[in-house]
Chains A and B, each alone.
Chain A
Amino acid sequence: SQQGEEDPQALSIQEGENATMNCSYKTSINNLQWYRQNSGRGLVHLILIRSNEREKHSGRLRVTLDTSKKSSSLLITASRAADTASYFCATDEEDSNYQLIWGAGTKLIIKP
C-alpha cells in the first residue's frame, strides 16, 4: 500500500526559483527518505530525516518533518535545469519489517 503521498503531482518552475514538494504519510515512522529519479533511470538517495529530527540540510536541499501532522517537505533552492526529475518520499514505518513504503512522486520540471 502507498503510505507516502506527494503533493503536487507535477511542478514546473523557472531556473533559479525554489521548488517545494510535500509528502504526507499515515503511520508512525522511524525515518523518512527522499529520492530523485531522472527519466528512465534508477533512484538516487538524497536525504534521510529521522523521526526525532525536525529539519535537515544537504547542499541546496532542505527537508522538514512534522510528525504531529505526519508530513514532510523537500525544498530545493536556486533550482537548476539538472534538477528536472521525479522526486519520491519513502517512509520506514516503525513496524515495517524491513520495508520502505513509497509515494507516487512529484515530477519537477525546471524551465531555462
Chain B
Amino acid sequence: NAGVTQTPKFQVLKTGQSMTLQCAQDMNHEYMSWYRQDPGMGLRLIHYSVGAGITDQGEVPNGYNVSRSTTEDFPLRLLSAAPSQTSVYFCASSYSVGTMEDGQFFGPGTRLTVL
C-alpha cells in the first residue's frame, strides 16, 4: 500500500493564481481531511469528508474548495491564492468516521508559498 500520497511536494504561486493540491489514499478509508500547518502552531482543519459525495467545512475553510467524487481522492482547490495561504498542507485519512478511534494516516505534505 502506498498509504496517503500528496502532489506536488512544493509549489510557488503568485497572488491570485489558482491551483489544486492532490491527495489520494489506497486504504479504502471513509474519512479524509485537509489541514494546514503554520510555524509554531498545530494543525488547523480546512475541510473534511466522511465519504464519497460528502464534504464539510473545518476551522479555516475560507479560500479553499474540496470535492470527493471517489473514496480514494480528495483534492483541495485554492480559488485565488493569497500570501496568507503560505503554509504546509497535509492530507489525512482514517478508517472510522464516528469516534475517530483509529488515528489518522498522514501524507508527506505540500509546502506552498504564495508571493
The answer to whether A4 touches B108, judged by C-beta atoms less than 8 angstroms apart, is no
Known: A1-B59, A99-B48. A45 touches B42 (CB 8 A): no
The answer to whether A48 touches B101, judged by C-beta atoms less than 8 angstroms apart, is yes
A60 CB to closest chain B CB, in angstroms? 18
Q: Which of A63-112 contact B (CB under 8 A)?
A: 88, 90, 92, 96-100, 102-105
B48 CB to closest chain A CB, in angstroms? 6
The answer to whether B42 touches A104, judged by C-beta atoms less than 8 angstroms apart, is yes
Binding site for A on B (CB under 8 A): 4, 31, 35, 40-45, 48, 50, 56, 58-59, 90, 92, 97, 99-109
Mind listing 21 A-B residue pairs with CB under 8 Å? A1-B59, A4-B42, A31-B99, A31-B100, A33-B100, A41-B108, A41-B109, A42-B106, A42-B109, A43-B90, A43-B92, A45-B104, A88-B42, A90-B42, A97-B56, A98-B31, A99-B45, A100-B45, A100-B100, A100-B104, A104-B41
Binding site for B on A (CB under 8 A): 1-2, 4, 30-31, 33, 35, 40-45, 48, 88, 90, 92, 96-100, 102-105
